[in-house]
Structure 1
Amino acid sequence: MSPTGSIRSSSRRDLGIAVVVFGWITIMLVTDPSSGLGEQWTYGAATWFVLLWLLLAETPLVRTQVAVVVAFATAVEYTFSLGLKVYVYRLDNIPAFVPPAHGLVYLCALALGRSPVVHRWRVPLVAVALSAGAAYALWGLLGTDRVDVLGAFWFGCLVAFLTRGRSRLLYVGLFAIVTYLELLGTWLGVWEWQRFDPTGLIEIGNPPSGVAGGYGWFDLAALTVAPVLLRAWERLTQIGRPER
């Protein structure tokens, strides 16, 4: 295959991943309000299947990154939702589809960030994400009945990721998918953010305007921890093997 053909194929696959993730998350969120625990477990199993299917063609590094995101995000879910009640799900639980969905969100952002089409429009897309995020954060502070302080703080994190991060286009993709799912999920009542944090001092929007900046810490964990884990695993698997 020619270099041009290879680039086109890669771009189609990356954009295809994004379409699958956006579509699957939409299906889950739209159907969840009328679902019980049994249906949530079914959606959870199906979401794991979609995630593992998409990972079949990925490198060991990407698979490890996704595993780190799922582990880190699940710990955060149980701490800040079930424990501290910063946000609560409709059935006061962690729906079974949430942990694998975090993996899908990361994979979607990664696929968009590495897509040749997105790279071609790198500068304007970063500018659009920053401008849209700033407008949303300002609206969260001044335009609603909640003064969304947490959202503004997280937007500051997003600015840092977009301007100083090692994988800036990944955060462009993250801004798109996370803003979409948070707006849709809260609008449908799948989850709700409480008005204040546990201290009662920090007001929170529903959803926080810059929530993609909060998700960005999951991605930062994946980008920094996964290579270390993969190297450790490779060294471990080499132990006991005869030298050639």
Structure 2
Amino acid sequence: MLRHFPSSDIACVHKQRDYIIAAITFFCVAFALVNDADATLAEQKVLGGCAWIFLLCFLHGESKEIRVQVGIAICFATVGEHFASPFMGGYTYRFHNVPAYVPPGHGMVYLTAVALARSGLFLKYAREIATFVVVACGLWSLWGVSGLGQGDAVGAMLFCVFLIYLFKGKSPLVYLAAFFITTWLEIIGTAVGTWKWAAIDPVLGWTQGNPPSGVSAWYCWVDSVAMGGSAPVMQGLKNVRQWFKSVKIGKNAYQGASDD
């Protein structure tokens, strides 16, 4: 099952930038969520502005492809947030809104998953990390359906989806990294009351943990859309630039002919 993971003897380079991105994001997530627990709407907007600044600084040193992926992740995740929270009520933020820091936060979370996935640590210990994640998340899911808590059938289902991403998906290290950052933010966010998951999922009618044990599967979906959509988006942007260039050339040629 781990045959598509890098072997432990793979040559890897530890780039400081990757670890800095991850460390800052983990800290910023905790800082923002804890402070938002009793923040006003105005303070939420300030947190959102700070998140955009951090994200733009991170993107300054990234390739065009990664920037496009982050943009897609933000757009897709933000639409999903508005559908799943205010519209469907799968989980609810304190002000029944989508806080201003959430869109740039999704960008930072995605970039962190990418940075960790390409880091020397994850490349060298991919199989050990995968084993830890599967065991830890598996035990969490079993606890959720054991009857000891409020019940978490949705979490168990999402854990199965996460396993499919992990062992069949094209970017398993990104999904592994997503587990750590998303589990971190979900546990903190729900613990301090920044948001709360509905005890019964409004779509399936199943019990749901706060947060669901396999919640990282939702973020894996965002990651896969971002990675899969970057190529067509970049090609589309290239086509648009070429069209504008051809229009400009044609306009200049027409003006030159008119002057003659």
- CA drift of 1:80 comes to 1.0
- Which portions of structure 1, spanning 4 or more consecutive aligned residues, are displaced by more than 6 angstroms? none
**Residues 1-244 of structure 1 aligned to structure 2 (within 5 Å):** 7-8=13-14, 11-142=15-146, 144-199=148-203, 201-239=205-243, 240=245
Write out per-residue CA displacement over residues 8-34 of structure 1, whole angstroms, 9 at most, x where no aligned residue: 4xx211011100100111110111112
Aligned length in residues: 235
Larger displacement relative to structure 2 (164-173 or 191-200): 191-200
Larger displacement relative to structure 2 (136-145 or 39-48): 136-145
Q: SS where residue 192 of structure 1 aligns?
A: strand
Cα distance in 2 for residues equivalent to 1:29 and 1:236: 39
Asked if structure 1 preserves the Cα contact closer than 8 Å seen for 2:143 and 2:149, the reply is: no
Write out per-residue CA displacement over residues 181-239 of structure 1, whole angstroms, 9 at most, x where no aligned residue: 10110000000001112247211100000000111100110011111101111222123
Q: SS where residue 85 of structure 1 aligns?
A: coil
Cα distance in 2 for residues equivalent to 1:35 and 1:184: 15
Q: Letter of the 1:89 partner, please give it.
A: Y
CA RMSD of aligned residues (A): 1.4
- CA drift of 1:164 comes to 1.1
Unaligned runs of at least 5 residues, structure 2: 1-11, 250-260
Write out per-residue CA displacement over residues 56-98 of structure 1, whole angstroms, 9 at most, x where no aligned residue: 0001110111111111111111111000111000111111001
Cα distance in 1 for residues equivalent to 2:32 and 2:215: 20
TM-score, reference length from structure 1? 0.92
Unaligned runs of at least 5 residues, structure 1: 1-5
Q: Relative to structure 1, is the Cα distance of residues 238 and 127 closer, same or farther in structure 2, using a 3 angstrom cutoff?
A: same
TM-score, reference length from structure 2? 0.87
Match in the other structure for 2:9: none
